[in-house]
Structure 1
Amino acid sequence: MSLAQFLPWHEATASAWLAHRERFAHAWLIHGAAGIGKLDFAAAAAASLLCESPRNGLACGECIACGWVRSGNHPDLRRIRPEAVAVEEGSDAATPDEEGGEAAPATGSSKRAPSKEIRVDQIRSLEPWFNTATHRGGWRVALIYPAHTLNVISANALLKVLEEPPAHTVFLMVVEAPDRLLPTLVSRCRRLPLATPPPEQALAWLREQGVRPAEGWLAAAGGAPLGALRLAQQGDSPVPAWLNQLTEPLAGGRQPDVGTLAETLEKLPAAEWLDALQRFYTDLMLAASGAAVRYFPALGQDVAAIGKRVRPAVVADAARWLTRQRGLASHPLNAKLFAHATLQRVVLSCQG
């Protein structure tokens, strides 16, 4: 495990924020757009707060505390996240910097699927930790992510903790949009918004990671560099081949081969292709209003041609429908029929 470090576009914000650590609020909502590195920021902030020899407020990477954070064994750090997230991260059991109790194994014969919510017992299991003295009288950090996965019961349990916060304890909660949380919970926290980096800085970072073409991938991710890196690692082109096969016929007034496209999409994670379709709809609505496309510049001419024929109200309604479909992406269903029905709706909305 490597020690979390602040990304280049977060360093100035982090330094200014951590300079006031002695007067820190007990709970922070770290929020911003998807794919900009909010969790990286929170993890680096936790390391910096626990560091015994910080440099300009940031973790030194060399002290004993930094070594413990790096190895996942710092006694004053807890990670609270859904079992499903822990499994994605490769965790198969609770460790000192994870929530108390037992985590779901990444493999095994358990019939229960890993929970996608932060459960109330995960919050309650922190109580003994709160009642234990911190290491060398320093900070204690609870890292909660993604905070919107707190269910109503666990959110209320956390609210009770925040109403009478433990001494020397900082809660760092990561979320894309604070309005996805209970308003009463939000009211107990200070907000720390993180901005999307300037394109030049994001492109320079992507090129350092070996991403080519950086411009295309960054556009496909809406300007979010970590989102662009993830897309580049998953695909061969910023524009998926199947999306080309969908938009080219539509631009020429022809009917796409929905059956063949559905066979392609059923082999892909539903969330992946639904996200791409949502970005396509954003571009289509921009084109219909005469604006430049945002996500898929390479499809600009095709999208503009489609945009001249569509009715904005129909496209907006289909986009809202697609958002609801996105909520079904992880449900057990017939992948091919799901893809086929979705594509049919998309085609109908693009035919004017």
Structure 2
Amino acid sequence: MSTLWPFPDDALRISRFPAASPVLSGLHRALHAGTVPNTLLLVGEPLAGREAVAAELSAMLICPEGRLFCTCSSCQRVRQGVHPDLHLLRVGVGHKEIRMEDVEEVLANFQQVPFEGRRRVYVLANAHTPPLNVFAASALLKTLEEPVAHACWLLLACNPLRVLPTIVSRAVQLRVPSSPAVAAENLGPRALALLQAVPGSLGALVEEGEEGEGFLQLAQELLPQAMNGNYLALLRLSALVRERPWRASLLSALSLASASQVQPELAERAVALAEGWLLAQRLSEQLYLGFEATALASLGRALEGT
């Protein structure tokens, strides 16, 4: 039987993310105190503990005994993504967004009591708009406004500002802490501080699906050229960011990741590029200028200074 979880197995193993365990412990206490909210917005970097918390929390909510880190058959099936009381809402195959039809399909049996567990758990793999289109969000909102005791929603997000305010207002927000990527550990305090400032990570590409894969391939091809001062490559990358502004943070993370793999003389330039992408994004938002203009200015200065 195929799994519902669209994430890599490593991303679902809570043992890999010790910083996230206190979040689960607090929710476990709330469960037995009868105060677990019907809708939780789990905010954190993709594939850095957020998905593992969602899987483990789903297991605990469905578990007949309500145990944390339980090894019973029910909990194991939830972690494997094959439990009948676990439901996942995500971008469908061949589509670029979550549609109203997707929401309606997942909610077909929403009012029914659970098959086996104590609750039904519904996981929204990406609560951002896009990919959650406004019609799907409207259908989802009606459900969140009229919760039922036997169902819980877990909404996953990287940045709550990209979640519609009407949905945020119906959820209790929890931040899932994550550790900086190992790839930047040897780059010194400047790179580590920069990585922590990046609102997304390489894992955010997962949230763009096939389109994200295409962006990743092109970015990996163009970044080495940009590090060598190729302004045409910078312009092409800037055009990609203009289409989806939050990609600036992804390019920053990609630049940092490449800094741990290139020759020492280029590592500093990669870190400068990472800073440049974020600066360009900030200037573009503040000055209402096109991203290409601010990117070429800030990135040009960054490269010239290394």
Alignment TM-score > 0.5, same fold = yes
| Offset of residue 67 of structure 1 | 3.3
Q: TM-score, normalised by structure 2?
A: 0.63
| Offset of residue 173 of structure 1 | 0.3
> Which of 179, 182, 186 in structure 2 is aligned with 1:215?
186
Equivalent position of 2:30 in the other structure = 20
How do residues 223-302 of structure 1 correspond to structure 2 at under 5 angstroms? 223=196, 227=201, 241-246=224-229, 257-258=230-231, 261=233, 275=249, 278=252, 298-299=267-268
Q: Name the CA shift for 1:128/1:322 in 2 (closer, same or farther; >3 Å).
A: same
One-letter identity of the residue aligned with 1:219: L
Equivalent position of 1:50 in the other structure = 62
Alpha-carbon distance in 1 for matches of 2:288, 2:47: 21
Do residues 29 (structure 1) and 34 (structure 2) align?
A: no
Q: Name the CA shift for 1:220/1:58 in 2 (closer, same or farther; >3 Å).
A: same
Aligned 8 A contact 2:201 2:250 in 1: no
How do residues 28-177 of structure 1 correspond to structure 2 at under 5 angstroms? 28-33=40-45, 36-52=48-64, 57-60=67-70, 62-83=71-92, 104=93, 114-136=94-116, 138-148=118-128, 149-177=131-159
| Offset of residue 9 of structure 1 | 0.6
| Offset of residue 8 of structure 1 | 0.8
Q: Name the CA shift for 1:277/1:177 in 2 (closer, same or farther; >3 Å).
A: closer
One-letter identity of the residue aligned with 1:28: L
Alpha-carbon distance in 2 for matches of 1:189, 1:166: 14
One-letter identity of the residue aligned with 1:145: A
Alpha-carbon distance in 1 for matches of 2:280, 2:69: 52
| Offset of residue 189 of structure 1 | 1.2
Q: Name the CA shift for 1:36/1:221 in 2 (closer, same or farther; >3 Å).
A: farther
| Offset of residue 156 of structure 1 | 1.2
Q: Deviations over 1:20-66 (max 9, x none)?
A: 11321111111135564322321221122223456xx4232x32212
Alpha-carbon distance in 2 for matches of 1:72, 1:118: 20
Q: Structure 2: where are the runs of 5+ without partners?
A: 4-8, 206-215, 257-264
Aligned 8 A contact 1:26 1:169 in 2: yes
Q: Name the CA shift for 1:26/1:298 in 2 (closer, same or farther; >3 Å).
A: same
Q: Secondary structure at the match of 1:66?
A: helix
One-letter identity of the residue aligned with 1:299: E
Equivalent position of 1:290 in the other structure = none
| Offset of residue 147 of structure 1 | 0.3
> Which of 173, 182, 185 in structure 1 is aligned with 2:167?
185
Q: Name the CA shift for 1:230/1:145 in 2 (closer, same or farther; >3 Å).
A: closer
Alpha-carbon distance in 1 for matches of 2:156, 2:253: 24
Q: Name the CA shift for 1:297/1:276 in 2 (closer, same or farther; >3 Å).
A: farther
Q: Name the CA shift for 1:192/1:297 in 2 (closer, same or farther; >3 Å).
A: farther
| Offset of residue 161 of structure 1 | 0.9
Q: Structure 1: where are the runs of 5+ without partners?
A: 84-103, 105-113, 247-256, 283-295, 308-312, 326-337
Alpha-carbon distance in 2 for matches of 1:301, 1:182: 34
Q: Secondary structure at the match of 1:222?
A: helix
Give the percent of matched residue pairs that are identical in Structure 1 and Structure 2. 26
Per residue, is there more helix in 1 or in 2? 2
Q: How many residues align?
A: 258
Q: Name the CA shift for 1:302/1:178 in 2 (closer, same or farther; >3 Å).
A: closer
> Which of 177, 202, 217 in structure 2 is aligned with 1:195?
177
| CA RMSD in angstroms, aligned pairs only | 4.9
Q: TM-score, normalised by structure 1?
A: 0.56
Instruction: From the CA coordinates, give the structure whose radius of gyration is larger.
Output: 1
